[in-house]
Structure 1
Amino acid sequence: MAHPAPPLARRLDGLLFFPVTAFDAAGRFDAGGYRAHLEARLADAPGAVFAACGTGEFPALGLAEYAQVLATAVTTTAGRVPVVGGTGYGTALAREYARAAEAAGADALLVLPPAGVDADQDGLLRHYTALAGSTGLDLILYQRDQLVFTPETVACLAEVPNIVGFKDGRGDLDLMLRIVSAVRTSGARDFLFFNGMPTAESTQAAYRAIGVPLYSSAVFCFAPDLALAFHRALEKGDAATLTVLTDTFLRPYVELRRQRPGYAVSLVKAATRAVGHPVGEVRAPLTEPDPAHVTTLLALLERTREALA
């Protein structure tokens, strides 16, 4: 007799992989290219795959191709790690994407902000509670862009059985500390906290200090060795390696990423392509990065590897 999978809180362990979504030369979803990208990175044993989320260009995916992306991720991982899909927009559309992810066999959803809506806290409670009630999947809430939760709202939502985590992409450590404290004192058990800042490695030491142990890794797409070196050093408290990675790679890379809007996705995808994965270009409104910036990034990777060696 099959036994149910353990709760998500006990399955999300290790480096969390946020793959780019592969497109072919005509701009269509490329299942083969996506599968190859996933397989290559699964060999490095990430803790989970977050498919069709921010790095995977969720806002650029139609519902049908989103379902294809999730189904490809689920069949490729074959139960080796949890698959978390993205969802977002208003309540009605978020439910549609949630149903598609559930039908594809995903384990959970990362809920991006309801775009174009300036909701108050009561509205956020209604939105996320309604979404949670419409799906059997676990939900991780994502605070980013214009969306800001109060600690009281997060503590209230943490009482919903299938709202299991909260991810921060705004970088307000004071607010995040108060959210962690509010959820902890509310009595919620096994609630997950994630650092969702662009290039989260650059801020993870600070997030970990306030009780946020998990983080996104887009770097894993194009430099899995460096992403894993950082994760191992963080787990072991290896300050010397963390210093090398911060000074030689993370700080210069973050400065490069800030050269143009959208580089948190487009530069990652271009670098992934440059290191041998045919994942195609980004979709509008994102634009391809300056080739000189890609060259700079590749040189930065080599310098970092030399420094670590």
Structure 2
Amino acid sequence: MTDKYDFKRHRRLRSSAAMRSMVRETQLQMDDFIYPIFVVEGNDIKKEVPSMPGVFQVSLDYVKAEMEELQSLGIKAVMVFGVPAEKDEQGTGAFADTGIVQEATRLIKREVPRMLVVADTCLCEYTSHGHCGVIHNHDVDNDASLELLAKTAVSQVEAGADIIAPSNMMDGFVTVIRHALDGAGYPNVPIMSYAVKYASAFYGPFRDAADSTPQFGDRKTYQMDPSNRLEAIREAESDMEEGADFLIVKPAMSYLDIVRDVKNNFNAPVVAYNVSGEYSMVKAAAQNGWINEKELVLEKLTAMKRAGADLIISYFAKDVAKWLGE
């Protein structure tokens, strides 16, 4: 029997769950995910971030248990953010040998050595003013900040970090860090550059978690204007020329066009950062019963991969591991 009408029957490949799974073009898997953690100084601290349900600040004595839980879920990489007890104008805690990220990294590599440690390389959590570099004349001094960022990167690698992830958006940060790592004897440590980081309103909850809100002004002189698309290509191109090994696009959800642009233009792994505001909006809606959290999260994370992300930094990684295991 032939069709009465001359048209394509696309629904044939959607007829059952098994059929849909067989022809699915984009698949999420746990190897895709990097889970951010916030480590604080002190003891016996496991404090939920008020604006990020299910995300905690933890002290060093909780880090081993946290890593073992992540490993049991199939999560193989963490991005470590530090929240120091003391801050100063230079952010010296960022590159101190006993800094909180350095101590957390040593602990992780000692206790759970197979966990890949990605170290956030920035100064904003450590500066008293909350900006990502040294302040001169009420603005961030680009070149003066680079020296401190290079010291931070070397210190983190000496503590055992597997990947350096500089998030400061200073011009030239990749080349300065690359030269510093090479000069210190670490030519094989890759740089996961925050190549395309927008001055976004989606970062608010993170600043609660990392205690990194600027004490004056904003970060619009060094983070990108959300209106700009071609600028993202220029930024990523510079970082690739300077030696970046991964390219991060941050935020992800509202910038999927940029993720695709970066993927199409550069031969390097692209990382989408599913940021705190994107996480908290979903959690708030789910708590109010307005959405199906599992279906929505899996849909939006799949969209990031479909747009071209090879890896996703996400606070949902634990949830996703449980859902994919069902």
Q: TM-score range by the shorter chain?
A: 0.5 to 0.7
Report the 3-state secondary structure (helix = DSSP H, G, I; strand = E; otherwise coil) of the residue aligned with 2:106. Answer: helix
Q: Give the structure 2 partner of residue 176 of structure 1.
A: 259
**Counterpart among 187, 191, 196 of residue 139 in structure 1:** 191
Q: How many Å apart are 1:229 and its aligned residue?
A: 4.0
DSSP-derived class of the 2:31 partner: coil
1:167 corresponds to = 249
Letter in 1 for 2:174: Y
Counterparts in 2 of 1:105 and 1:196: CA distance versus 1, 3 Å: same
Q: Report how many aligned residue pairs link the two structures.
A: 200
Mapping 1:119-138, distance limit 5 Å: 124=171, 126-135=172-181, 136=186, 137-138=189-190
* Structure 2: gaps (5+ residues): 1-29, 46-56, 88-92, 123-131, 133-144, 200-219, 225-230, 280-296
Does residue 30 in structure 1 map to residue 76 in structure 2? no
Alpha-carbon distance in 2 for matches of 1:57, 1:197: 18
Q: Distance in 2 between matches of 1:57 and 1:144?
A: 23
Q: TM-score, normalised by structure 2?
A: 0.52
Higher percent of residues as helix: 1
Tell me the equivalent position of 1:153: 235
**Cross-structure match for 1:228:** 321
CA, structure 1 residues 112+74, in 2 after alignment: closer, same or farther (shift >3 Å)? Answer: same
* Aligned-pair CA distance for 1:67: 1.4
In the superposition, the TM-score normalised over structure 1's length comes to 0.55
Mapped partners of 1:92, 1:73: distance in 2:
27
Q: Distance in 2 between matches of 1:204 and 1:85?
A: 23
Secondary structure, counterpart of 1:85 in structure 2: strand
Q: Is the 8 A contact 1:19 1:38 kept in 2?
A: no
Instruction: Give matches, 1:45-56, under 5 Å.
Output: 45-52=74-81
Is the CA contact 2:190–2:245 (under 8 Å) kept in the aligned structure 1? Answer: yes
Name the CA distance, whole Å, in 1 between partners of 2:106 and 2:310. Answer: 28
CA shift for structure 1 position 34: 1.8
Query: Whose strand fraction is larger, Structure 1's or Structure 2's?
Result: 2
Distance change (3 Å), C-alpha of 1:179 and 1:197: same
Query: Does the 8 Å CA contact 2:273/2:312 hold for their aligned counterparts?
Result: yes
Superposed CA deviations along residues 159-210 of structure 1, whole A, max 9, x for unmatched, are: 4445333232263223332222221xxxx3x433323333564732322222
Task: Determine which of 297, 302, 314 is the counterpart of 1:217.
Answer: 314
Instruction: Decide whether the 8 Å contact of 1:193 with 1:214 is kept in 2.
Output: yes
CA 58–45 in structure 1, closer or farther in 2 if over 3 Å, else same: farther
**Preserved contact between residue 113 and residue 144 of structure 1 (Cα < 8 Å):** no
Aligned mates of 1:58, 1:131 — CA distance in 2: 23
Q: Which has the larger radius of gyration?
A: 2
Report the 3-state secondary structure (helix = DSSP H, G, I; strand = E; otherwise coil) of the residue aligned with 1:165: strand
Q: 1:150 and 1:130 mapped to 2: Cα distance?
A: 20
| Alpha-carbon distance in structure 2 between the residues aligned to 1:196 and 1:14 | 12
Aligned: 1:84 with 2:130? no
Tell me how large the CA RMSD over aligned residues is: 3.2
Deviation digits for residues 80-135 of structure 1 (CA, Å, limit 9, x no counterpart): 13211110233122112211111111110121124xxxxxxxx62x2322122211
Q: Report 1:201-216 matches (<5 A).
A: 201=297, 203-216=300-313
Deviation at 1:25, TM superposition (A): 5.9
Q: Is contact 2:193–2:239 with CA below 8 Å preserved after alignment? A: no
The answer to whether the 8 Å contact 1:22/1:33 transfers is no
CA distance in 2 between counterparts of 1:102 and 1:179 reads 27
CA distance in 2, matches of 1:134, 1:34: 29
Cα 1:168/1:59, change in 2 over 3 Å? farther
Contact 1:164 1:192 in 2 (8 A): yes
Is this contact kept in 2: 1:158–1:191, CA < 8 A?
no
Q: Which residue of 1 aligns with 2:3?
A: none
Who is 2:71 aligned against?
Answer: 42
1:50/1:85 contact within 8 Å kept? yes
Q: Tell whether the 8 Å contact from 2:250 to 2:273 is kept in structure 1 after alignment.
A: yes
Residues 95 and 23 of structure 1: is their aligned pair in 2 closer, same or farther, counting only changes over 3 Å? Answer: same
